[in-house]
Each structure stands twice: as C-alpha cells, then as structure tokens.
Amino acid sequence: MIKEKYIHLCKTAADNQSAIDRLYEIVKVLRVECPWDRVQTHESLRPGMLEEAYETVDAINNQDMVNLREELGDVLLQVVFHSILGEEASNFDLKDVINEECEKMIRRHPHVFLQENTNNTPKSIDKVLEKWENIKEKERGETKTASRLAKVPRALPALTRAYKVQKKAADVGFDWDDVSGAFDKVREETRELTECCKAETVDKKALEEELGDLLFSVVNVSRFLGIDPEASLDYTIDKFIRRFTHIEDSALACGKALEDMSLSEMDELWNEAKKSERSV
C-alpha cells in the first residue's frame, strides 16, 4: 500500500508541466529513500544513459511506438536524474538545462526566430545544416579544423565517429576527388594488413593499427556513396543472423548438431538461404 505522503505521486498528470513536475519529485524522493538511487553519480549513470539512447533508437528502427514511448521516458529519467545531481552539487538544475537548450535552439535558428533579410534565409535543408554548424563553431570559438575533429565525441560508435571526422575534414578540402580514390585506399590498406599478417613475428599492435586503417578507409567509401556505415553494417549483421538461423534450423530438421557438420555442409545451407532470400 502506498504511503500516504506519496499518494499524490500516483496520480497521472494532466499536462506536460505537471508530468515533468511529477517525475522530478519522484526522483527527488528516490534520492532520499532508495539505497541504490542515493549513491548514484554522473559517472555511475553513464552506462544507463548510453543503453537507454540505444534502446530508443532500436524502438525507432522497429517502428514500435509503444516501446518508443517507454524508452523516451527512460531517456527523460536520465536527464532529470542528472539534473538533480547537478542541483545537489550547486552546478545546475533542470530549469538551467531546459533554458540553455531553448536559448541554443533560438540562436541556431536565426532564420526562424530573427527578423533577417529574406535573401539570407536558407532555402534548403543543406543550407540550414550548414548555418547550424557555422553558428555552433562560432559559439565554441573553434577556429582550427583539428579542434573540430577532436571534439567529435569519443563515446559515439566508432563507424559514426569516423564518418563525422572525415566529413569535417572534407569540408575544408581534405578529400579525394571522387570515390575511386577511396576505393584505391581500401585496396592499399588491405595489402598492408595482409602483409602484416604474413610477417614472421605477428605484432598485435601493428595488426590493430592496420585493421583500423582498413575500417577507416571503408567508412570513407560509405561517405562518398552517401550510405550510413552503421546502418549498412547493421543490415548485414541482421542478414547474417537470418542465414545462420536457416543453417541451424535445417541441421536440426535433419537431426544434426552444428558442431557435427563440416564447413562445406554449412556453406551449402548458407547458399541455400541466399537463394531463398533473392527469390522473395
């Protein structure tokens, strides 16, 4: 049974402001009453922030609106929790977080909020994004391209980080003339990795570096083709799982365990799965 002093927190909010106030008060209560919530810090909550963001993206990819609503709530909980931690340390509070974001949106959308000369109003999405980046760099006082590259968050998935770094370098002219240069680089890095593997003494650090170079060059190709490398790799992972599932299901139907099958037998079933997919 709910304690009498917390009964008001069980009432569903009727509007946005009341909903935010309700969540804020719940977290404030947990910081006092719950042993786990009491000991949390910005650092201890960091894995949760990443996990909730990824789960939100997964819900979007699955077009699961029920799950998306839930995951957005989990992300909002993270924002409120971090804001309360900031408030407790007298660094910032939820109001500061929201107001700063509002002010940023107004600054970075002068074509919407300011009375500008219509000739300077961006007419396309690309122009809007270009203006956004220019304003952001001005706000941060970034005059060197290298500093812009360094500020691409390390917490991003590596493929996405590589894509963004390459894009910023390309914006100032550090780029191939066309995709053929990027393909040549892939071939070059493949040769270097192969040679490294053939060395009499295998240098793990050198292998790691050469593999990284190859992956980085593949991302460059994806950028020229206008393909998101993360989405492309995710598609291939899903395809691999589907085909592997076909191999295992076919083996079990014949009373075989995968461990008892030869690679050639599994490869035959793999090709069977490929043909089945292409015929759909």
82 Rama class: left (phi>0) / alpha (psi -120 to 50) / beta: alpha
Q: Residue 66 to residues 59, 63, 70, 114, 224: CA-CA distances in angstroms?
A: 9, 9, 7, 37, 36
Q: How many CA atoms lie within 13 A of 66 on its CB side?
A: 0
Q: Please state whether the predicted TM-score (pTM) of the whole model is above 0.95.
A: no
Domain residue limits, the chain? 4-107, 231-279
Question: Over the chain (280 residues), what is each successive 10-residue block's mean pLDDT?
Answer: 91 95 97 96 94 94 95 97 98 97 90 70 65 68 80 89 93 92 97 92 91 97 95 94 94 90 92 84
Tell me, what's the pLDDT at 183?
97
Helix axes 158-170, 204-225, angle to 10 degrees: 60
What CATH number is given for 4-107 in this structure? Answer: 1.10.287.1080
Tell me, what's the pLDDT at 115? 78
**What is the rounded CA–CA span in Å between residue 44 and residue 125?**
38
- CA angle 233/125/56 to nearest 5° reads 45
pLDDT at residue 144, as a whole number: 83
The secondary element (H helix, E strand) that includes residue 37 is: helix 35-38
- Direct distance between the N- and C-terminal alpha carbons of the chain, in angstroms, rounded to an integer: 55
CA distance 49 to 75: 7
